[in-house]
């Protein structure tokens, strides 16, 4: 009688282990493009000026970073989000000219930015775009690194093997 619970527990343990192997392998099976990869590196070129669309896209980038299919390949994917063009207006603490609804979306963007950084995603903002769109660099969310020219960053990341993902 003592032996039966141990056998059942051991059987359950092996069943759980087998299920985990099937599930983890199944995630990569879902995406043919992920087969054979040992790492995932991507740079997201974010140029969205609409707060609603930007909030949605940033949440999707964060969810993609945490996706089980990505995590089954590597526990530490390397993602960079580069804010270029009109998107720089959405990462400023200056909310002048935005409707109350858009201001709530800007709060969502700021919250998502903080969560992305905590997850390990790097964020950069183009100072050329900030100048063009009248964004004071001192007003930019503190989690975001400021770079002189976002295109140079995109070139550098791509030269290092990062996949370019446009978000326009």
The verdict on 18 and 80 lying in the same domain is no
The verdict on 87 and 15 lying in the same domain is no
The verdict on 42 and 115 lying in the same domain is yes
The verdict on 58 and 24 lying in the same domain is no
Place of tokens 């896209």: 57
The verdict on 51 and 115 lying in the same domain is yes
Q: Is residue 51 classed exposed, middle or buried when 0-12, 13-18 and 19+ CB atoms within 10 A define those classes?
A: buried
Q: Is residue 75 classed exposed, middle or buried when 0-12, 13-18 and 19+ CB atoms within 10 A define those classes?
A: exposed
The verdict on 9 and 62 lying in the same domain is no
139: containing domain:
36-167
- Render pLDDT for 102-156 as a digit per residue (tens, 0 to 9): 999 999 999 999 999 999 999 999 999 999 999 999 999 999 999 999 999 999 9
pTM for the full model? 0.81
Structurally, the chain folds into a number of domains equal to: 2
Residue pair 145/122 in contact (Cβ under 8 Å)? The answer is: yes
């Amino acid at each position: 009688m003592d032996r039966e619970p141990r056998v059942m527990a051991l059987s359950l343990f092996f069943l759980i282990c087998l299920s985990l192997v099937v599930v983890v392998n199944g995630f990569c099976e879902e995406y043919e493009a992920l087969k054979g990869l040992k790492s995932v590196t991507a740079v997201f070129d974010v140029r969205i000026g609409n707060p609603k669309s930007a909030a949605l896209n940033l949440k999707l980038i964060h969810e993609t970073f945490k996706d089980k299919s990505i995590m089954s390949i590597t526990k530490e994917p390397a993602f960079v989000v580069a804010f270029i063009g009109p998107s720089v207006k959405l990462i400023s603490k200056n909310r002048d000219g935005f409707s109350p609804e858009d201001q709530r979306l800007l709060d969502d963007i700021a919250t998502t930015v903080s969560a992305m950084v905590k997850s390990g995603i790097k964020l950069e903002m183009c100072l050329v775009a900030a100048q063009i769109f009248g964004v004071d660099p001192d007003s930019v969310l503190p989690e975001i690194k400021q770079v002189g020219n976002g295109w140079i960053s995109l070139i550098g990341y791509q030269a290092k093997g990062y996949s370019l993902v446009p978000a326009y």
